Amino acid sequence: MRKKVTKAIFPVAGMGTRFLPATKSIPKEILSLVDRPLIQYAIDEAREAGITEFIFVTSRGKGALEDYFDAAPQLEQTLRKKNKHDLLEELKRSTMDSGEIVYVRQREALGLGHAVWCARRLIANEPFAVILPDDVIAAEKPCLKQMVEAYENTGGCMVAAMEVPPHKASAYGLLDVKEDMGSLLKINGMVEKPDAKDAPSNLAVIGRYILTPKVLNNLGKLKKGAGGEIQLTDAIAMEAKSGNDVYGLRFDGQRYDCGSKSGFLQATIAFALSRPELHDELMDFLAETVGSRRAAQ
């Protein structure tokens, strides 16, 4: 029997410089799409995929994240008194039981691979997931759940994969595909942010991973890669090079790059439009605004 994936690592140590000054005093993972912080989307997705242990790799200045997941007795009491049961339910989703969530500090910003490696002692000898909260994926079946289901048949390592336009490919980890089996891809290797001329494909790694503990060993041996950082992509590529199975899954769903302002705004609009209570007013506003902008051009 394959071991179940019950642990997930959330690398949240980044400084979020692209969103300054908003992120000067709050972690970027607390920035909200409509009324729910980015990190809440990641946690909800992980829970729905069967994750029960949540490992946060943080850094200085991320205290607001710890508070976010804590119980809020005063707030709960007030809502109870006012009979605001729906808000109480919402609040419950953000509260983690003691022991369900752990925080590890990444002491130096040495890259995504290094951040994942910082959690090695908490993973021990089990497969684990990694979720990058910047990548928000709207899907009928949550992306990580799709991956866990596929992984139950394949084993090995698995990354979420998506075609990206060639002019954007160099911003991603790109897959070198050995066998294209439709939604599932078998991988020869992968390259982190190559120059356009060296891109093995325009199939990009999106921030969802299921990894074997061997990847953590590889990370311990790696030298700095693209951008002078320890790259998770390189540690997974090492698995493929040593003959172990690595897969990509073309997931069903719409991915938003909430690490960029434009992606964040697109996600905000899309998520707001999917709320019945906001839909009509926002549609009217968008139609009007787009109409008058077009007319002025």
Write out the residues near ligand G1P by the rule CB under 6 A.
112, 132, 135, 172-173, 192, 204-207, 233, 259
Q: Pick the closer one to ligand G1P by CB: 79 or 218.
A: 218
- CB-nearer residue toward ligand G1P: 30 or 191: 191
Q: State which amino acid sits at residue 10.
A: F
Residues forming beta bridges with residue 105, ordered by sequence position: 58
Element (H, E) at 7: strand 7-11
Minimum distance, C-beta of residue 201 to ligand G1P, in the bound complex (Å): 12
Closest CA to 248 of 208, 214, 199, 213: 208
* Distance in Å, CB of 100 to ligand G1P, minimum: 26
Which residue's CB is nearer to ligand G1P, number 14 or number 156? 14
Give the pair of three-digit tokens for residue 150: 């596929």
Choice between 130 and 148, CB closer to ligand G1P:
130
DSSP one-letter string for 217-265? HHHHHPPP-GGGS--HHHHHHHHHHTT--EEEEE-SSEEEETTSHHHHH
Q: Do β-strands 32-33 and 36-37 pair in parallel, antiparallel, or remain unpaired? A: antiparallel
Of 132 and 177, which has the nearer Cβ to ligand G1P? 132
CA end-to-end distance (rounded Å), the chain: 63
Count other Cβ atoms within 10 Å, centred on residue 200. 16
Q: How far is the CB of 82 from ligand G1P (least distance, A)?
A: 41
Supply the DSSP symbol for 133: T
Q: Would you say 132 or 272 has its CB closer to ligand G1P?
A: 132
Least distance (Å) from ligand G1P to the CB of residue 218?
15
What CA–CA distance (Å, rounded) separates 187 from 150? Answer: 15
Nearest distance in Å: CB 215, ligand G1P: 13
Closest residue to ligand G1P: CB criterion: 173
CB 130, min distance to ligand G1P, A: 10
Rounded CA separation 137/143 (Å): 7
Contacts of residue 115, Cβ cutoff 8 Å, sequence gap at least 6: 9, 11, 13, 57, 106
Closest CB 207 distance from ligand G1P, rounded Å: 4
CA distance 145 to 175: 21
Query: With respect to ligand G1P, which residue has the nearer C-beta, 11 or 127?
Result: 11
Query: Can the peptide bond before residue 142 be classed as cis, meaning omega within 30 degrees of 0?
Result: no
